[in-house]
Structure formats: C-alpha cells, structure tokens
Structure 1
Amino acid sequence: MTGPNASGKGTVAQRLLTEGMVRHHVSMGQLLRDVAQEASNTPDQKQVLDCLLGSPDATSHLEHCLRNRLLIPDAWTEALIELYLKNHPELHTSVWLLDGYPRRLEAAKHLMALLDELNIPLLHVLHLRVPEAEVLRRSLLRKREDDNKETIRSRYRIYEQEILPVVEHLEALLGTHQVSHIDASTDTGQTNSREIIYQRVKYTLSSAGLTS
C-alpha cells in the first residue's frame, strides 16, 4: 500500500489488521524507527546495523533522515526489508500488508526479485490518491512540529517524482487488475472520513476477490 503523506495508510492498515483481512502489517517507517532505536540504545546493535548498511556512520545518518523525514538510501531499505522477510517465515505463507514501501523504482525492482526468490506472491497494490491541497490541509490539522507548508509541499513533490513512477512500474508489470488507485480524498465537512476511506479500500479488495 502506498500514497502520499496523510493519505490514511496507517489507519487503513490498522483496520485491515483488526478485522482480520490481513494477518500482519509491515510498515517500513516503523521498521526503520525500531532498528534506529535499538541501535541507539545498544552499542552491539549499532555495530550490527552499521555493518549491515555498510557505513560506520549509518545509524547517525538514519536517525537524521527519520528526524527530518528524508528518503532513506535505497541500499539501506533494501538490506533491511530483505533481512526482515528472510527472518520472518510466517510472512511466506500468510496474507500481509506492506505499508509505505517501495518508494523508489530501483527499490521496487529489488522487492519484486526478493518476493520471487522467497516465493511470496504479490496479491495486490493499493494506491491511495489524495490531491496536494487536501494533504496540506490534513497535515496542518495534525499540528506536528515538523509540519509546515514548505515541508509538506516538498514531501508531496517527492511523492509525485519518486513514488508515482513506482506505482506506474508495478501497474505495467502486474497489470491493471492487480493495482488499484483509490480515491482517499474526502469533503472537509465529513466527520467520518476515515471510515469512508476504509470502506473504499474494503470494496476494492472485495471486488478483487481478496476478502472472505
């Protein structure tokens, strides 16, 4: 599942997990935060992470990227997702959701090769579409310290320049029947916007034969 910031990916993922439509939720953002925290708290883990990512300053750079919401180098995310999938065999035989990854074309190519190597089928791609103006409105309402108009618009540019080509690549590779573009925008007056977005996702998955 992919989409711009503030498109509702986390909320949708939690609902899919709670309602049993997926067995596991793998968030690249959470995975990165977890490994960075472990490395910062434990010297041995820092050494392992720096070695895995191929740089003695990898942990510090990773923390900087997370703190400033910058894109992580492809080689690092590729190494982390490969290690994670190989260390979690339950993901080889169950329906699970990958949230917020891949974010670049080369990472997408690596992921597809990795899934093929591990015999993990990619069942469907969910792309949550939200226009920039609504992303700006939602993000400012959250009142996060690092959210301002400039940074929000900058992240949306990254979405347009990096993530949309990934979606287009996957659609060309898998076919339109396996990639769904879901309207995740809502009217400003709707108080149940999260439910509306979730029901759109659920309907899409049901139409694709992916719900019981």
Structure 2
Amino acid sequence: MQSRDIQSGEVKITVKKVHVQGRGAIVLTGPSSCGKGEIAKALQNILSIPNERHLSMGSILRMTIDRARNDQAFKEKLSADYGISYRKSIFDLSLNKREHVLKAEKYKKELDDYCVKEMISQLDWLEFCVVKGLLIPDLWTIKLIDAIFESSPELQDNIFILDGYPRTSVAAEKLLGTFLRYQIPLIKVIHLSITKEEMKKRAFERKRVDDDDESLERRYEFYIEKVHPSVDYMKIRLGSSRVALIDAHQPIYDQFDKLDIDKSIQQVALKVLHELGLPSYLLDLK
C-alpha cells in the first residue's frame, strides 16, 4: 500500500498478485486468435494459478498421452471406459467410424514410420494426431475431457482455467454434465469477442503456415455456427449472470502511437477480473 496524500485520506493500492482459493472452473471461449491463451496466462499470473491448472485442448491431449505412456491403469481405463484402445486397430472399419479410418489411411506411411509396429491402435492414432497437430475426432475430445477430470483430483479440488473448450453445444452439454458429476462449480464463462477482420489481422501477424484467408474464413464460420451456439447453450443452462461477453479488442498505444501488446492484454484481463468479482480497489494492477 502506497500513500499519495495522507491528510486527504487518498490512498493508492497497487496489487501484483492475488492468491485465490476454492474450487471451480473459469471457462474462456471465443473465435480463433481472440487471445484466449494470452488472457489465460495473464489470469494465471495475477490469480496465482499454476500452469498445470491452465487447461487447453492441447494440454489435455498431451496430458492424456503422457499418462497413457506412464500409467497402465489409466491406459486400461481409456480402453475400457472411453473407447480409445491400445488393443484395437484404427484401420478396422467394424470398430471405428469410416471417416476416421479414411483419414488415418491418408497418413498410413507416416504412421508406420512413427509407430514402427505391426498394429496401429486407436491410442497410437491419437498420439500421432497430437504430435502432428491434426484434428481429433469430436467424440474423442468429449471422452478425454471426462477421463482427465475423473483422474485429476487436483482439478476437482482447486480453481482452474479451461481455455478454448467447449466448441459445440453437444460438447457444452457433456462438459456441464461432467462438472455436475464431479461437483465442480463453473465460476464464469468468459466469451472473448473480436470481429472477423480483427481475427484475420491478428492471425496474419502471428504468421502461422495454415493462416491463409480461406482457412480463416472457415474458422470464423465454425465460430459463428458452432462455438457461439455453445455459449448460448451455457447461458440458458447457467443463467446470463454466469456468462460474460468481453470485447477482446482493447488496444492501448504508447507515446509513439505504437501498439503496446502487454498493456492491451492486461486491459482485457482487468475486464475479466472485474467480471470474476474482484473488487475495484484490487484492479489497479501494475
């Protein structure tokens, strides 16, 4: 606490970190390139949430593969309870959806080189997709979310951030069911919003190989057709007070009229913190 004018009673309070306690999920959602990952990291830093409690779909997939490699019981559970088996071939049409088999067949040679084994299992295919950055079947992502929460008491007993999930209304319904089953409160859904033009601008600035105009159009269309309805579904189920729409485009410029990225991210993070219920005197963060 730093006093600016003791006689008038004016006091400036600067807070660098807040240590949160309790249980529950903070869900971040929105279109591609809206800054979910950056806002999640800012919230982690301010609220003292460790890295292992910032879950993105990517981190969940990597966590699943790591546990399956090192924990035989978890590996067996994936097979028995969640339908992702290390004993069943991904190329067997009687055990897999045709679209999944056809996709795996496109990568047959790479799969053979990667796995170097006689039978390429469903679990092998999952690992290959994670390593190569390929899309995972929707049904599997829903099952993996459930598997991770069932086997992670540290998530059931603490506050965590879920970044970029759910992406469809069906996934939202399943997620709320999972939270109910393990009695995990959903603290707030933060819907970060940007225009299609701003999404494209941000994507082109980060210069990813797959960020061409056509793919970005598809991603925004997916957001409008799938992600946005999933937010509406959660609003109906949870009540409008539990879902906050926040403008993720709040640029701050320095004295030379150059975008200050860090301050811009912090500005959005402050809006999120306000929606999470932190009192205004704690939001003068440096």
Tell me the C-alpha RMSD between the 2 structures.
Answer: 3.0
**TM-score, structure 1 length as denominator?**
0.82
The structure 2 residue matched to 1:119, chosen from 171, 179, 183, is 183
Contact 2:61 2:130 in 1 (8 A): no
1:68 CA displacement: 6.3
1:107 CA displacement: 1.0
1:29 counterpart residue number = 58
Amino acid at match of 1:2: T
> 5+ unaligned residues in a row in structure 1: which ranges?
none
Contact 1:3 1:128 in 2 (8 A): yes
1:94 CA displacement: 1.4
1:162 CA displacement: 0.8
Query: 3-state DSSP class of the match of 2:191?
Result: strand
2:192 counterpart residue number = 128
1:3 counterpart residue number = 30
Query: 3-state DSSP class of the match of 1:124?
Result: strand
1:83-98 paired onto structure 2 within 5 Å: 83-98=147-162
2:272 counterpart residue number = 204
Contact 1:127 1:180 in 2 (8 A): yes
- Residue identity (%): 31
Aligned: 1:167 with 2:231: yes
1:123-202 paired onto structure 2 within 5 Å: 123-186=187-250, 191-202=259-270
Contact 1:182 1:201 in 2 (8 A): no
Contact 2:39 2:268 in 1 (8 A): no
Contact 1:9 1:99 in 2 (8 A): yes
Distance of 2:128 and 2:144 partners within structure 1: 15
Contact 1:186 1:193 in 2 (8 A): no
Contact 2:246 2:271 in 1 (8 A): no
